[in-house]
């Protein structure tokens, strides 16, 4: 198998793009809804825009149920979308199954959270990787070529010497080794984009970094575009070039990872960062009375009007309960935006200088508002 054509593509080239991506899951109808002829749906993903580029990692961060996995599954074409578009190299793509799906899967692969569940316990590593190589027609024309391809795959994920692992069953490997096999299986397709749905969250803390470093190495060696889904905003800062924050099915903030994690603008991003364990902060918590937002995520069957975060937001204004915030560029960092009315010019102008609404919930770290972002910007 050869990777030459992939590695020669320009590093910033957009591979996969979501444009206004929307997914509503219909809720099974009960007798009452049949009688009243109403139908409801889980608004899992609404109007998501994102772009995955060659040689770059985009992190998608948010709490449980915010719609992260649904975005990945839509991008992998495992679910049909309700609205919006998915573009592969700029071309609108809808794949329903069969040969078209296999062709799509040679370019876009997924890695799942639980490597034990994604590998069949009754088959060896050799079986899993051979099958993937055959499906994607990289198994070569004879046994020697197949053996070479298998060794190359395991070498790539640093399971060496390969012969030590090829004939083992999944249960004979550690969690980290199993996830490396799952990554090797995804690489057997020779993909351009990798959608990694919480690839390290089931692993021991001590081996997470090794797997993230492997993914980073693969990104650089094979010029891969990676979507990294995580609850852990700190790992997004370490691993991802760009971070997007999702709340209750909508994107609320995005920008380069350093800016989003060091100078978060949206009150929800601040809440996420404050929720991450940090010994220094825990010591100061007793004296810190700032309200960062409490409560539970909302129902996605009847999501709140206006900003979906407003019932939990300590900075909520009357407008937030009725008007859906549009993405607003923040400060002077290109590509940094937040969908929050705190940064609307009219709101800022109406506040006395230095007030909470003018500076944002975190005061000293809050960026200055700028102009409204274009409605179809790539970085959204
Ligand atoms: N197949 C489905 N049918 C109906 N509802 C679904 C389906 N898949 C997901 N949902 C709902 O869509 C919402 C988003 O789910 P999703 O799994 O994408 O969230 P997530 O951010 O990945 O959460 P987690 O961090 O727990 O994995 C949730 O309310 C979930 O219950
Ligand atoms: Mg998920």
Q: Report pLDDT for 2.
A: 42
Q: 245 lies in a domain?
A: no
Q: Are 86 and 92 in contact (CB under 8 A)?
A: yes
Verify that 184 and 54 share a domain, yes or no. yes
Rounded distance from Cα 197 to ligand 2 centre (Å)? 7
Which ligand is closest in space to the CA of residue 79? Answer: 1
- Whether residue 261 has its Cβ less than 6 Å from ligand 1: no
Last residue of a domain, one of 213, 240, 267: 240
CA–CA distance, 330 with 214 (Å, rounded to integer): 33
Q: Is residue 380 part of a domain?
A: no
Dihedral sign for Cα 92, 98, 101, 103, please: negative
Q: Is residue 378 part of a domain?
A: no
Predicted confidence (pLDDT) at residue 378 exceeds the cutoff of 60? no
Residue 379 in any domain: the answer is no
To test the pocket of ligand 1, the residue of 27, 29, 66 to mutate (highest count of ligand atoms within 8 Å of its CB) is 66
pLDDT band at 114 (very low <50, low <70, confident <90, very high): confident
* 200 and 97 both lie in a single domain: yes
Do 353 and 256 share a domain, yes or no? yes
- pLDDT band with cut points at 50, 70 and 90 for residue 366: very low
* Mean pLDDT computed over 281-291: 55
Alpha carbon distance 371, 255 (integer Å): 15
State the pLDDT at residue 283: 57
Domain count, the chain: 2
65 lines ligand 1 (CB under 6 A): yes
The predicted structure's pLDDT at residue 5? 42
Classify residue 196: in a domain, yes or no: yes
**72 touches ligand 1 (CB under 6 Å):** no
Report the atom number in ligand 1 closest to the C-alpha of 73: 18
- In the reported structure, the alpha carbon of residue 67 is separated from the centroid of ligand 2 by a whole-number distance in angstroms of 7
269 lines ligand 1 (CB under 6 A): no
Question: Tens of pLDDT along 93-107?
Answer: 999 888 899 999 999
49 in Cβ contact with 21 (< 8 Å): yes
Once rounded to an integer, what is the mean pLDDT over residues 366-373?
42
Name the pLDDT band for 377 (thresholds 50, 70, 90): very low
Instruction: Determine whether the shortest distance from the Cβ of 190 to ligand 1 is under 6 A.
Output: no
Same domain, yes or no: 112 and 220: yes
Note whether 224 and 304 are same-domain residues. no
Answer whether 254 contacts ligand 1 (Cβ < 6 A). Answer: no
* Rounded distance from Cα 183 to ligand 2 centre (Å): 18
Ligand 1 mutation pick, 26, 28, 39, 42, max ligand atoms within 8 A of CB: 42
Evaluate if residue 288 carries a pLDDT over 70: no
Question: Does 300 contact ligand 1 (Cβ within 6 A)?
Answer: yes
Mean pLDDT of 59-83: 96
Q: What mean pLDDT is reported for the chain?
A: 86
Is residue 179 within 6 Å of ligand 1 at its C-beta? no
Reported as a single tens digit per residue, the pLDDT across 132-186 is: 999 999 998 999 999 999 999 999 999 999 999 999 999 999 999 999 999 999 9
- Is 263 contained in some domain? yes
Distance of CA 227 to the CA centre of its chain: 5
Same domain, 169 and 256: no
Considering the domain architecture, whether residues 149 and 37 belong to the same structural domain is answered as: yes
Same domain, 265 and 120: no
Q: Which ligand is nearest to the CA of 61?
A: 1
Closest-lying ligand 1 atom to the alpha carbon of residue 62: 21
Instruction: Tell me whether residue 324 is in a domain.
Output: yes
| Residue 375 clears pLDDT 70, i.e. is over it | no
How far does residue 80's CA lie from ligand 1's centre (Å)? 15
pLDDT at residue number 354: 58
Is there a single domain that holds both residue 227 and residue 259? no
Comparing CA positions, the residue from 113, 96, 114 lying closest to residue 105 is: 96
- Residue 367, pLDDT above cutoff 50: no
**Residue matched to tokens 């999944």:** 170
CA distance 352 to 182: 55
pLDDT of residue 333: 86
240, 274, 293: which is the final residue of a domain?
Answer: 240
Same-domain pairing of 282 and 143: no
pLDDT exceeds cutoff 70 at 129? yes
φ/ψ of residue 329, rounded to 5: -65, 145
CATH classification at residue 235:
3.40.50.300
Ligand nearest to the CA of 197: 2
pLDDT in tens, 204-241: 888 899 999 999 999 999 999 999 999 999 999 999 99
Examine the fold and report which residue of 220, 240, 260 is the final residue of a domain before the chain moves on.
Answer: 240
Q: How far away, in angstroms, is 70 Cα from ligand 1 center?
A: 6
Q: Are residues 196 and 339 in the same domain?
A: no
Which residue range(s) make up the domain with 346? 252-372
Q: 148 and 236, same structural domain? A: yes
Answer yes or no: is the C-beta of 69 below 6 A from any ligand 1 atom.
yes
- Two structure tokens written together for 192: 């351009």
Whether 94 maps to a domain, the answer reads yes
């Amino acid at each position: 198998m050869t990777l030459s054509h992939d590695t020669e593509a320009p590093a910033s080239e957009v591979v996969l793009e979501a444009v206004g991506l929307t997914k509503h899951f219909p809720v099974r109808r009960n007798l009452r809804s049949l009688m009243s002829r109403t139908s409801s749906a889980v608004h899992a993903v609404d109007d998501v825009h994102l772009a995955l580029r060659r040689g770059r990692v985009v992190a998608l961060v948010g709490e449980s149920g915010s719609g992260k996995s649904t975005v990945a599954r839509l991008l992998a074409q495992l679910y049909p979308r309700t609205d919006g578009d998915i573009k592969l190299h700029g071309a609108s793509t809808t794949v329903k199954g069969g040969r078209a799906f296999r062709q799509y899967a040679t370019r876009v692969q997924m890695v799942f959270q639980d490597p034990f569940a994604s590998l069949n316990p009754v088959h060896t590593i050799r079986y899993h990787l051979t099958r993937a190589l055959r499906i994607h027609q990289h198994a070569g024309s004879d046994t020697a070529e197949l053996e070479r391809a298998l060794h190359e795959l395991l070498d790539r994920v640093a399971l060496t010497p390969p012969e030590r692992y090829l004939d083992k069953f999944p249960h004979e490997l550690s969690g980290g080794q199993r996830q490396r096999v799952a990554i090797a299986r995804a690489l057997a397709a020779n993909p351009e984009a990798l959608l990694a749905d919480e690839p390290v969250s089931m692993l021991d803390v001590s081996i997470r970094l090794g797997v993230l470093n492997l993914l980073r190495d693969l990104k650089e060696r094979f010029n891969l575009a990676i979507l990294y889904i995580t609850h852990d905003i700190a790992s997004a800062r370490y691993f991802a070039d760009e971070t997007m924050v999702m709340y209750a099915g909508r994107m609320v903030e995005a920008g380069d990872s350093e800016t989003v994690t060091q100078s978060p603008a949206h009150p929800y991003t601040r809440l996420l960062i404050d929720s991450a364990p940090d010994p220094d902060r825990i010591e100061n918590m007793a004296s810190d009375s700032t309200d960062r937002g409490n409560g539970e995520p909302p129902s996605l069957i009847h999501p709140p009007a206006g900003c979906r975060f407003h019932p939990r937001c300590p900075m909520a204004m009357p407008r937030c309960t009725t008007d859906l915030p549009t993405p607003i560029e923040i400060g002077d960092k290109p590509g940094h935006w937040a969908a929050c009315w705190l940064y609307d010019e009219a709101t800022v102008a109406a506040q006395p200088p230095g007030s909470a609404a003018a500076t944002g919930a975190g005061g000293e770290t809050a960026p200055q508002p700028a102009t409204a972002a274009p409605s179809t910007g790539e970085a959204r």
